[in-house]
């Protein structure tokens, strides 16, 4: 334990420690900037030989002594080398240099030669650093001071919302909460005796809406914006004359069915990745073909050939976006700001090349429409292994990135790898989550980049500098230590200007996610996310407080038999809960608390295999701090091992999908995966560059949009019914902030709002048809409460629009679709979720009929009749009929009936206005109404008219005076 009063290192957060003579360690004698010896070693090893604060070069004697410590440190056993290799833990000077060594006693002999090479390489680098420091004259060091100081500055900064905007917003939230309390006190204490069931239902619904509002509103308490500095990133990690030190990134692209996900769209995504503005040797693209389709394979082969021409063209002229389909369809003057005389000629030539490439890909699609009786065969005449998509071996093909394949200008290209995991009957493959976990293992064996970016096949890179934006957070020593992922907002192409069905989801991405970024970070939304690979392996961040072994009674791999010291039972319970959240084999921060025997047990090969599976090569990759594959790795061996780790039985009896990788158990594996990470203490970052980082395509017709919402809501219900429910999971660990837990709770309970919402939308029509109302005659106090509630709702919305910057049309579209989705898709998701989780019945709501129209946004006017449309259609018809009935009744009763009618009609019109986009979608085509809608409308109107005449609602059966009056009026 360090002595009290020792300064804290400004890089790693640990105490700086003592030097060899027993005094406090000082890295810079000029400004005494507190940096521990371990961090100093790391900075010198990375080539940063100047103080982070004042840019004064470190003392040469100090450099020589630290480098001597680096060279002299040699692990006695291979397990010591592997202990600290998971994360940058900065425990001690000697331990920090064990990071690049891997292995444990079981496979020690196999990595012996590799370790020796690494040690020799370190010695040479250490000598070179000392010589360079001695050879650089003082004049040159003074000249380099400004550049080093600029490189040492933060790579990003937080821009809080101005107090003039956020303070009134918070005040109104509190005021609205107080008004709600008084409002519910009035509603509960003033029941409507004449319509008690209607009153009770309305009060229950209103209480649920208030609860839902709290879950949605309070996580927005501290919204923030962020700004990145790409120039500082380049100054720090891309110094002229030195090797690039930017971290490698593995891109994951997932596709299943090439008929539903056109190969040309997937190809554009791949091309935009290969042409990204990032060092080519640092980029690897893995395409997961979960359907094992030969069409996908052949289209990737064509794409790799076209990439040899497309990538140099993009980088030569710095075009945006770098997906050819979307670049060539842009409606702008492409000659603007292009000064190269050859640009026009080369652009036209490249467009011709792309058109020819499209013809070849479309020919493959046409050919794949009819499968031969004997299945597909490859060019060499052998059968295609994936002819049976449910029963085929694992397949891997490296298209680009290997020796001999360069672009047309002779430059290296990023690596492009086709992956199709093994499929066998009787195994649970877990759909997209299983495919992503297979990609984690394949990429770890072949390239092992420390960071992973996953994209859907229909999301292309719209901003070529997006990866640099993410690296401004992940590679910042002070910011990136506990960041598990950087989330970018989703933006879409091909949506109509009015965004009828709220496909852009602006309120969620520009309001809710900014609010979460001010707490513990945004939720993971499934695509456009850059991950820290170590976080996906289930480890906790390195800056968590150390949990001493005396209280660690729930270790993952070994249990201590020594009696623990007496301490507070609450603290013991809390630390035990924290241990339960750690899915890693051991807590890296605690390894120094164990003796050699315990340590050897802790990292035994058996323990690794129980967690990560039976692959020593993959396990070695998890022990490498900065990624990469061993220098002694044999490419053929790596390919065989990569095939092994994508076997369908590899995950059996391991922690895959349970504690590490993408988590199974829900169709929305994204929410669940991000939640598990943040329960372990990680935080996430929300990055919104001015130019959207990624763009995709969204289903824009009504039926497809509702089915998409249905899938999301079903996943939330599945999480609610699982052990990972945010209402109780990980509560004792204390790592998830309570506002963050509110946000995650909101993501899983919002589908249940459909039940009170559909009841509340039917209530106005029932009130109009029965003549009853849910609110008694209002007093002055009650009127003030209702007025205050409506004003607080309006002011909250206005202030939210002000600090978020979104438009009122986007806000209104979000409100409309909240009602549309709530009374349709969310309702079906609740019932389907309970049937699936409790009874094991999996029901699917499929589209049965369709009709199309030509022209721009033709898909917007598609009419696809599906069962999800029944509840909102019913609500619309009932409310329209209720309005007609209410006015008819008011005309019959006279002037006194118009006052109560106003309140009833107001609520009914509220429902109709919110369902108006649904009504337009129900009409199908732009200028014509589908025949089925006309027939159903006429039938329902006729039935209702006959029933209305039969029951004769204008005459009360129990009121004799009315009967007499009617007889007098008719002169009977």
Alpha carbon distances (Å) from 217 to 167, 176, 805, 853, 906: 15, 11, 17, 41, 26
Please name the helix (run of DSSP H) or strand (run of DSSP E) that holds residue 445, with its range, or none. Answer: helix 431-446
Cα 963 to Cα 212: distance, rounded to the nearest angstrom = 49
- The DSSP bridge partners found for residue 15 are 8
- The DSSP bridge partners found for residue 160 are 224
Phi and psi at residue 15, in whole multiples of 5°? Answer: -70, 145
| CA 844 to the chain's CA centroid | 25
Q: Is 456 marked within a binding site?
A: yes
Alpha carbon distances (Å) from 87 to 99, 588, 756: 8, 8, 47
Number of H-type helices and E-type strands within the chain: 34, 13
Cα 78 to Cα 157: distance, rounded to the nearest angstrom = 40
- What are the strands, taking DSSP E only, across 195-295? 224-228, 249-255, 283-289
> Angle at the Cα of 807 (from 804 to 810), degrees rounded to 5?
105
**Position of tokens 């921060």?**
589
Q: Of 106, 24, 96, nearest to 614 (Cα)?
A: 106
List Cβ neighbours of 715 (8 Å cut-off, separation of 6 or more).
666, 667, 668, 669, 671, 672
Q: Is 261 marked within a binding site?
A: yes
Catalytic residue among 80, 499, 670, 810: 670
Q: Is 231 marked within a binding site?
A: no
Phi and psi at residue 859, in whole multiples of 5°? Answer: -65, -25
- Cβ 71 vs Cβ 123: under 8 Å: yes
Active site residue 80: no
List Cβ neighbours of 504 (8 Å cut-off, separation of 6 or more).
491, 492, 495, 698, 810
- Cβ 217 vs Cβ 414: under 8 Å: no
Q: Is 290 marked within a binding site?
A: yes
User: What is the DSSP secondary structure assignment for residue 242, as one 8-state letter?
Assistant: S
What's 914-951 look like in SS3? HCHHHHHHHCCCCCCCCHHHHHHHHHHHHHHHHHHHHH
Catalytic residue among 41, 290, 458, 476: 290
Active site residue 374: no
- Cβ 577 vs Cβ 569: under 8 Å: no
Q: Is 122 marked within a binding site?
A: no
Please name the helix (run of DSSP H) or strand (run of DSSP E) that holds residue 531, with its range, or none. Answer: strand 529-532
Residues catalogued as catalytic: 290, 670
Binding residues: 254, 260-261, 290, 431-432, 456
Binding residues for UDP-alpha-D-glucose: 254, 260-261, 290, 431
Binding residues for Mn(2+): 432, 456
């Amino acid at each position: 334990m360090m002595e009290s009063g020792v300064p804290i290192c400004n890089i790693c957060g640990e105490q700086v420690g003592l030097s060899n003579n027993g005094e406090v360690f000082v890295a810079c004698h000029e400004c005494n900037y507190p940096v521990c010896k371990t961090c100093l070693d790391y900075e010198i090893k990375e080539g940063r030989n100047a103080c982070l604060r004042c840019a004064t070069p470190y003392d040469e004697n100090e450099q020589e002594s630290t480098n001597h410590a680096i060279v002299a440190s040699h692990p006695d056993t291979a397990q010591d080398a592997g202990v600290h290799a998971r994360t940058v833990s900065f425990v001690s000077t000697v331990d920090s240099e064990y990071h690049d060594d891997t292995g444990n006693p079981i496979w020690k002999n196999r990595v012996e030669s590799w370790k020796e090479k690494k040690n020799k390489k370190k010695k040479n680098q250490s000598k070179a650093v000392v010589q360079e420091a001695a050879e650089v004259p003082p004049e040159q060091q003074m000249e380099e001071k400004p550049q080093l100081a600029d490189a040492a500055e933060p790579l990003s900064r937080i821009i809080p919302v101005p107090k003039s905007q956020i303070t009134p917003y918070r005040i109104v939230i509190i005021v609205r909460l107080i008004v709600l309390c008084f409002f519910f006190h009035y509603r509960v204490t003033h029941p409507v005796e004449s319509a008690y069931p209607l009153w009770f239902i309305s009060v229950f619904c209103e209480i649920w809406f208030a609860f839902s509002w709290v879950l949605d509103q309070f996580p927005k308490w501290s919204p923030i914006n962020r700004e990145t500095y790409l120039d500082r990133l380049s100054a720090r990690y891309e110094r002229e004359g030195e090797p690039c030190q930017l971290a490698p990134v593995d891109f994951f692209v997932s596709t299943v069915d090439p008929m539903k996900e056109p190969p040309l769209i997937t190809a554009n995504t791949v091309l935009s990745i290969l042409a990204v503005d990032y060092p080519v040797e640092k980029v690897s693209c893995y395409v997961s073909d979960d359907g094992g389709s030969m069409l996908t394979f052949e289209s990737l082969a064509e794409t790799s050939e076209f990439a040899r021409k497309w990538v140099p063209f993009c980088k030569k002229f710095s075009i945006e976006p770098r997906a050819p389909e979307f670049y060539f369809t842009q409606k702008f003057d492409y000659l603007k700001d292009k000064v190269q005389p050859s640009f026009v000629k080369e652009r036209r030539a490249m467009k011709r090349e792309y058109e020819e490439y499209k013809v070849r890909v479309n020919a493959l699609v046409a050919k794949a429409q009819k499968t031969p009786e004997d299945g597909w065969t490859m060019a060499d005449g052998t059968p295609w292994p994936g002819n049976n998509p449910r029963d085929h071996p694992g397949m891997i093909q490296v298209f680009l990135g290997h020796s001999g394949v360069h672009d047309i200008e002779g430059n290296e290209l990023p690596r492009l790898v086709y992956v199709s995991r093994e499929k066998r009957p009787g195994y649970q493959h877990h759909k997209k989550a299983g495919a992503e976990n297979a990609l984690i293992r394949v990429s770890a064996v072949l390239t092992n980049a420390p960071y992973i970016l996953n994209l859907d096949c229909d999301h292309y890179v719209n901003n070529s500098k997006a990866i640099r934006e993410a690296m401004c957070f992940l590679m910042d020593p002070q910011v990136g230590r506990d960041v598990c992922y950087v989330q970018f907002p989703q933006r879409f192409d091909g949506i109509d200007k009015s965004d009828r069905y709220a496909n852009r989801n602006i309120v969620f991405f520009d309001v809710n996610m900014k609010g979460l970024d001010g707490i513990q970070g945004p939720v993971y939304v499934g695509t456009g996310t850059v991950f820290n690979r170590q976080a996906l392996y289930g480890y906790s961040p390195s800056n968590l407080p150390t949990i001493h072994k005396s209280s660690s009674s729930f270790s993952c791999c070994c249990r201590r038999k020594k009696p623990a010291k007496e301490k507070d039972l609450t603290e013991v319970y809390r630390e035990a809960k924290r241990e339960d959240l750690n899915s890693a084999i051991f807590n890296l921060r605690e390894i120094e608390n164990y003796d050699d025997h315990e340590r050897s047990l802790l990292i035994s090969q058996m323990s690794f295999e129980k967690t990560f599976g039976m692959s020593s090569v993959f396990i070695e990759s998890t022990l490498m701090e900065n990624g990469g594959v061993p220098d002694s790795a044999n490419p053929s061996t790596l390919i065989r091992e990569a095939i092994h780790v994508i076997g369908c039985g590899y995950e059996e009896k391991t922690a895959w999908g349970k504690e590490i990788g993408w988590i199974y158990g829900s169709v929305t594996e994204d929410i669940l995966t991000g939640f598990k990470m943040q329960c372990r203490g990680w935080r996430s970052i929300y990055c919104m560059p001015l130019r959207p980082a990624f763009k995709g395509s969204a289903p824009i017709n009504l039926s497809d949009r509702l089915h998409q919402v249905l899938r999301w809501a079903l996943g939330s219900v599945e999480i609610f019914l699982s052990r990972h429910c945010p209402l109780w999971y990980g509560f004792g660990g204390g790592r998830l902030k309570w506002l963050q837990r509110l946000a995650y709770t909101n993501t899983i309970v919002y589908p249940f709002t459909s039940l009170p919402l559909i009841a509340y939308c039917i209530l106005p029509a029932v009130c109009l048809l029965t003549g009853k109302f849910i609110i008694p005659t209002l007093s002055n106090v009650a009127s003030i409460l209702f007025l205050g509630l409506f004003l607080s709702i309006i002011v909250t919305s206005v202030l939210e629009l002000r600090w978020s910057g979104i438009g009122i049309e986007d806000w209104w579209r979000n409100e409309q679709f909240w009602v549309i989705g709530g009374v349709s898709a969310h309702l079906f998701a609740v019932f389907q979720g309970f049937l699936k989780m409790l009874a094991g019945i999996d029901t699917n709501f499929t589209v049965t009929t369709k009709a199309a129209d030509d022209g721009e946004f033709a898909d917007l006017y598609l009419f696809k009749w599906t069962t999800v449309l029944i509840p909102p259609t019913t609500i619309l018809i009932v409310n329209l009929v209720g309005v007609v009935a209410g006015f008819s009744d008011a005309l019959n009763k006279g002037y006194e009936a118009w006052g109560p009618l106003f309140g009833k009609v107001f609520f009914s019109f509220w429902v109709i206005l919110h369902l108006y986009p649904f009504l337009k979608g129900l009409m199908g085509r732009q200028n014509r109404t589908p025949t089925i809608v006309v027939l159903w409308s006429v039938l329902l109107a006729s039935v209702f008219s006959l029933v209305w005449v039969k029951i004769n609602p204008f005459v009360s059966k129990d009121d004799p005076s009315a009967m007499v009056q009617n007889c007098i009026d008719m002169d009977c």
